Amino acid sequence: MRKIRLLEDGIRYRKSRRRKAAHGRERSTGFQLLITASLVVSLLLTGCGNLSASDTGGPEGQRDKQVEESLSFSTMSEIDRDRDMEPGKVAQDAMEKKAVRKGNREMKLKSLYIELLGTYLKEQLGLEDYDREIEDLGCLTKEGESRSEAQNERNMGLKYLYLRNDIHVERLSEDDLTVLEAGYGQTEGDAYDHAMEVVVRTFPFCITPVALEREEDKKFNYVYDNVVSSQNGETAVTMDTLLLRIATRAEYDDEGEYVDAYREVQKEKGLYDIAERMEAEMEGLLGDVPIIVQVDFIS
């Protein structure tokens, strides 16, 4: 019996030892996990890494940046994953960027087209001489908000005359756009000459209010706005018309009255006379493109 009790005591002792050993290992593992977690938190809060204080504004900045990066990592991963899952969104972004690039290119080429067309019209129609003649009448130029967008954009470097037609470079072929683009920033040479050739050849269908599909569409009437073209009061012009405007203003005193009412009437009459004479003298100078001159006068 004594041997049996000793044997049982030995078995209980060994079992107790095994339980204590297992408990010790569990405590050791838990302690190691606690130490590891503490180190991770410490790394996050102290801004461990390659960031310097000058990069983040000092220790506080390091901690903030490190924590933000750790917190935002999963969010950014979700965004990237969502984009991968939504090819339509990626395609839309690409199309929007392409549209912006195309729009910027068209704006640049439109500006060049207007500049080249202005140079051509001044030489072909003698517009600088007419501009000086208007100045000799004693007319005042428009200023500030009284100037239209068309005058600001398409005045051709003149004081009074400007082109009323808008310019639609989007109607040009890609080949013409490429030639035009090569002339950007040039004032002479082959690239400039080729760009000018594109403008002279294409302006008749770049100045129409809408793209014309048939030859007979050219003769439909169009009213740009309520500005009379001559003393007969006609406002409508045909679709294919190159429309020039004379922009002037009357002279007022501090009380809003004419400085010289009679002189203003004479100046206005003189402007209409010049407009009609310009139309007669310019007829045929642009081939079969009709030319109308309207008076944009603030009385």
For residues 22 and 110, the model is more confident at 110
20 vs 203, higher pLDDT: 203
pLDDT average, residue stretch 72-85: 48
CA distance 263 to 61: 73
For residue 181, pLDDT over 60 is answered with: yes
Closest CA to 183 of 197, 169, 171: 197
Please, which residues have CB within 8 angstroms of residue 92's CB and are 6 or more apart in sequence?
none
pLDDT for the residue 4: 40
Confidence check: pLDDT of 283 > 90: yes
Q: Domain-by-domain residue ranges, the chain?
A: 1-43, 89-125+171-206, 126-168+211-299
Least confident of 35-49, 127-141, 181-195: 35-49
CA 39, distance to chain mean position in Å, is 52
Confidence tier at 287 by pLDDT (50, 70, 90): very high
Q: What is the mean pLDDT of residues 41-57?
A: 45
pTM of this structure: 0.66
Beta-carbon contacts of residue 199 (< 8 Å; ≥ 6 apart): 113, 116, 117, 120, 180
Decide if pLDDT at 230 tops 70.
no
